[in-house]
Structure 1
């Protein structure tokens, strides 16, 4: 495994280490949260203000979104990543949203050469053209950092790979936190659109949704982070919470980047539509 904190032929590695940046997992829920003045978006705005007020604010954001799946792992490596509206059936106001944050090809190259793909020992691939920032990224980053002046790189996920390998990628990324890089996993701890009830209040959810969210929160609170990889052992509860598990996997990247002395803090606890958990966590 490569060490992202070791010297390398890159200006990124030549910068002195800084105070460790927090690492986030954010439940993004409905794309409408990006524009509605609800409690989820208000929490993202407050967290962004908190991060910008640090003595050293983020100088780069690395986002792992549930909405970019590729064979192998890829990093966006363009100067100007486009805003991707990867959804349908929503008001025009949502499609009008843009998040013109710059990219950083230089940082993408450094990260690519510093992180090895599990199983192959190949560097992360660079995507210079056909992606950008999907709604799993920009829908939360725009409320957090509305000036769009912090460079953003997205890391894709290989859905075919076992959970432990996603966690292992997060472990390799951990050293970036010492260089003012904010690592953000964007998904949901429970995500089942098939059973969603749009009329359900935020404090109501299916029993299986509550149980899966509870177990996940206990692993995080008790610092049993590798146990998050064993989510499928919950059987039917896991199958209902995640008919497909692309929205759970970003949590594993964030958890992998956590250090032993980091303390978790939950926010946005609650549900959308009875089957989407908005539980989010910041480790610092």
Structure 2
């Protein structure tokens, strides 16, 4: 998410930047602050939609359809009832953060519209950083942890200690795979070798996500800046078409498109995976997900 120098609500007020708030009109400036907050929240919600879903449920149980096959029967046979057993439980923490700015009677009287804009931009930058860090922590931390749920609906007591689960990490939880098989899984992958044509992780990434019937494409991989050069050097990598260039007859052309989402630049596609550079990621890390 790009940091603006002028908050949304202050666009069109640049001619008043050197004017004190008291002279420009406190109500006018307050409206600019509110409009800036509303637009910031709208943009943040749109960006988070690809990775985050809102919920008011502290904990829920996912029931999975049983795997297996039918029981063989003859013309007199009756199948034996089968007990469903596949399920897993997840929980969600509430994590808050905030910032503040204020004035005294002297600084309030001298505060300009530009200084107010700076405070708003700084607060929004901190908010974007906080959200980014917590979303990445939720995805990259492979360990479970305990959160104390204190407050329930309508003022009732919460559930107490609930367990926050990571992604599939090779533990005892089983998931449904295409074909009806139930199996454990591990979606935390790594390799010691640098990415090249002999050590290409993207076919494995694609297969790991698409082996589950609840997933569908496109598969998007957000990659750290330190990985972009080696990824772009892969033989199967097809870059995003430069609108200023005409592709020659002997070159593959990427005709599809992808919304940028969290990332900074859509680089191209390799082995069925869209590659998006996300400069905020730690060095040598990736986050992949199926958008469908």
TM-score (ref. length: structure 2) = 0.25
Larger helix fraction of residues? 1
TM-score (ref. length: structure 1) = 0.26
Which of 1 and 2 has greater Rg? Answer: 2
